[in-house]
A and B are shown apart, each in its own frame.
Chain A
């Protein structure tokens, strides 16, 4: 069985090239944006970094979450391609460190009047609403929550992979590691619920427009991250299949990942719409300004594109059974979904610091490519380190005969 993955030279060059583009964009950003005298240019420099680092960190963390959720449900379908989420999860720390650097730098960001326009609660003097929120929205709280969350995600990401690798060396049919993984999965879900599904999006994303709040926000960002995280796993699985690896993965396994991509696109729409409709219906000015800013004016194109790419396209293209079992449609839709949710995060973050002055040009695209390069580079390196088939996994037989 072809169970070793050797990083092809082409993939390595591509990832290096992408990282180089990212670094160039960063240098260009420092030269033309960070040193600019215009406040929105400087805010744009940081908020684009914030957008991409948070987006990539959250979608890679999804790989840890899906391992935990499936291990807790004792699901066998994931075992055939388990190394993929493991490899992505084991690299959460890379994106974690980048995100922490960016987030903590932004705490020190000031415009020419001395205000922090990205996280306005940092400089809250004179703002009654933000002073009232100070018990939660303050730099100490922010730093503690961020460190704890990133630390725990990275720890569990590496731990899950190490345990899975330890299972390979354990005696045949040894169940000790299996049950340990089972218990740790439950623990991780608790950690995840208290971080990604609640506090972290409040602090990292929702606090950009700190006057506004929505109780649904964290669930909505989670759904966004989850569906793009599953699409990311799908892209890796298909890439490895095309390289001749992952022989155990059949169309049945792909169908299951496709179901996640489809179902959670609908779930995302459900949350997105629930948040939107209640605010639209109640029509309270302090809530509606958030959507007015996005739906009317320069962001409206992103607002509607978001809805079309993330809801209309998945429901029409991914609904039928054959399209979830077709390499072309799932690859195409996985890329569309990742792009769509990248846009979704974009419109969550940008209207706060940039106002109406948004651009997607060389800087945004370059930084995105840089992060994609880091992802490809680190994950492919981790994948190559061990056998792609978990030969000693207790559920290997079940996964081989799995039917979607």
Chain B
């Protein structure tokens, strides 16, 4: 992860946000991300995000759960500790299906949650830079990544022209880092520099 410079624009209407996103992509500026208080349908398409691979990960976790369950139970009941009960064969597959199913769901759910957290770089007890405190309340916040060649003022003027209510430049860590929210010095020092 790296510390980068961002131009941040806050919009108060999704009807303004959509053309703004389109203009930013057309202008060639590097769109970092858009933060919205609620799921805005179609925004991912507008931003040009590709379809997530999270479900493929979920499928793999599920298969792992299935094979863990079937493998473990069959090892126990057929070779480690075989007991005859209820007149059933040692390899009593139908009886194992509920547990196999549950373990599949458990593996898929836990694995996908952790993968989701990793992909979005969020986790309890982990810090991530917040571009605008109202991005989870009533503003749609767009961050554009700047580098040393990008003229800052031009970008800010451009963002204003797309209908942004507030614009500013922030220096921030783009990924997550370990830290606690009650120890803010580290975080503030970062943005001041």
Q: Could you list which residues of chain A lie within 8 angstroms of chain B, going by C-beta atoms?
A: 273, 276-277, 280-281, 283, 319, 321, 403
The docked-state distance in angstroms from the alpha carbon of A273 to that of B51 is 34
List residues of B (41-85) whose CB comes within 8 Å of A's CBs: 41-42, 51, 55, 59
Given A281-B86, A283-B87, A321-B55, residue A276 in contact with residue B42 (CB < 8 A): no
Report yes or no: A277 in contact with B59, Cβ–Cβ below 8 A.
no
Report yes or no: A281 in contact with B94, Cβ–Cβ below 8 A.
yes
Interface size class of B (residues with CB under 8 A): 10 to 19
Report yes or no: A281 in contact with B95, Cβ–Cβ below 8 A.
yes
Report yes or no: A319 in contact with B59, Cβ–Cβ below 8 A.
yes
Chain A residues positioned under 8 Å from B55 (CB to CB): 321
Shortest beta-carbon distance from B31 to chain A in Å: 21
Kindly state whether residue B117 has any CB partner on chain A within 8 Å: no
Kindly state whether residue B114 has any CB partner on chain A within 8 Å: no
The docked-state distance in angstroms from the alpha carbon of A106 to that of B88 is 40
Chain B residues positioned under 8 Å from A283 (CB to CB): 86-87
Report yes or no: B97 in contact with A403, Cβ–Cβ below 8 A.
no
Shortest beta-carbon distance from A75 to chain B in Å: 15
Which 9 A-B pairs rank lowest in CB-CB distance, beginning with the nearest? A277-B94, A403-B41, A280-B94, A281-B95, A273-B97, A403-B42, A277-B97, A283-B87, A283-B86
The docked-state distance in angstroms from the alpha carbon of A280 to that of B98 is 14
Chain B residues positioned under 8 Å from A277 (CB to CB): 94-95, 97-98
The docked-state distance in angstroms from the alpha carbon of A319 to that of B87 is 37
Nearest residue (CB) in A for B55 is A321
Shortest beta-carbon distance from A190 to chain B in Å: 32
Chain A residues positioned under 8 Å from B94 (CB to CB): 273, 276-277, 280-281
The docked-state distance in angstroms from the alpha carbon of A273 to that of B93 is 12
Q: Is the interface of A mostly helix, strand, loop or mixed?
A: helix
Extra 6 A-B pairs, beta carbons < 8 Å, given A321-B51, A321-B55? A273-B94, A276-B94, A277-B97, A277-B98, A281-B88, A319-B59
Interface string of B96-107 (1 = CB under 8 A from A): 011000000000
Chain A residues positioned under 8 Å from B87 (CB to CB): 283
The docked-state distance in angstroms from the alpha carbon of A311 to that of B97 is 14
Chain A residues positioned under 8 Å from B97 (CB to CB): 273, 277
Q: Could you list which residues of chain B lie within 8 angstroms of chain A, going by C-beta atoms?
A: 41-42, 51, 55, 59, 86-88, 94-95, 97-98
Nearest residue (CB) in A for B96 is A277
The docked-state distance in angstroms from the alpha carbon of A276 to that of B94 is 9
Chain A residues positioned under 8 Å from B88 (CB to CB): 281
Chain A residues positioned under 8 Å from B86 (CB to CB): 281, 283
Chain B residues positioned under 8 Å from A281 (CB to CB): 86, 88, 94-95
The docked-state distance in angstroms from the alpha carbon of A36 to that of B98 is 48
Nearest residue (CB) in B for A403 is B41
**Please, could you name 14 A-B residue pairs with CB atoms under 8 Å apart, sorted by A?**
A273-B94, A273-B97, A276-B94, A277-B94, A277-B95, A277-B98, A280-B94, A281-B86, A281-B88, A281-B94, A283-B87, A319-B59, A321-B51, A403-B41
The docked-state distance in angstroms from the alpha carbon of A281 to that of B94 is 8
Shortest beta-carbon distance from A77 to chain B in Å: 13
The docked-state distance in angstroms from the alpha carbon of A403 to that of B41 is 8
Nearest residue (CB) in A for B45 is A403
Nearest residue (CB) in B for A273 is B97
Shortest beta-carbon distance from A308 to chain B in Å: 15
User: Which of A277, A283, A403 has the largest number of chain B CB atoms within 10 A?
Assistant: A277
The docked-state distance in angstroms from the alpha carbon of A362 to that of B98 is 41
Nearest residue (CB) in A for B42 is A403
Shortest beta-carbon distance from B96 to chain A in Å: 10
Nearest residue (CB) in B for A274 is B98
Chain A residues positioned under 8 Å from B51 (CB to CB): 321
Chain B residues positioned under 8 Å from A273 (CB to CB): 94, 97
The docked-state distance in angstroms from the alpha carbon of A276 to that of B98 is 12
Shortest beta-carbon distance from A290 to chain B in Å: 15
The docked-state distance in angstroms from the alpha carbon of A174 to that of B180 is 56
Chain B residues positioned under 8 Å from A403 (CB to CB): 41-42
The docked-state distance in angstroms from the alpha carbon of A178 to that of B19 is 35
The docked-state distance in angstroms from the alpha carbon of A321 to that of B86 is 43
Shortest beta-carbon distance from B102 to chain A in Å: 13
Shortest beta-carbon distance from B79 to chain A in Å: 22
Shortest beta-carbon distance from A307 to chain B in Å: 12
The docked-state distance in angstroms from the alpha carbon of A181 to that of B179 is 56
Chain A residues positioned under 8 Å from B59 (CB to CB): 319
The docked-state distance in angstroms from the alpha carbon of A133 to that of B87 is 32
User: Which of B59, B87, B94 has the largest number of chain A CB atoms within 10 A?
Assistant: B94
The docked-state distance in angstroms from the alpha carbon of A277 to that of B92 is 11
Shortest beta-carbon distance from B170 to chain A in Å: 32
The docked-state distance in angstroms from the alpha carbon of A321 to that of B52 is 11
Shortest beta-carbon distance from B66 to chain A in Å: 12
Nearest residue (CB) in B for A277 is B94
The docked-state distance in angstroms from the alpha carbon of A273 to that of B95 is 10
The docked-state distance in angstroms from the alpha carbon of A321 to that of B56 is 10
Shortest beta-carbon distance from A256 to chain B in Å: 14
The docked-state distance in angstroms from the alpha carbon of A280 to that of B94 is 8
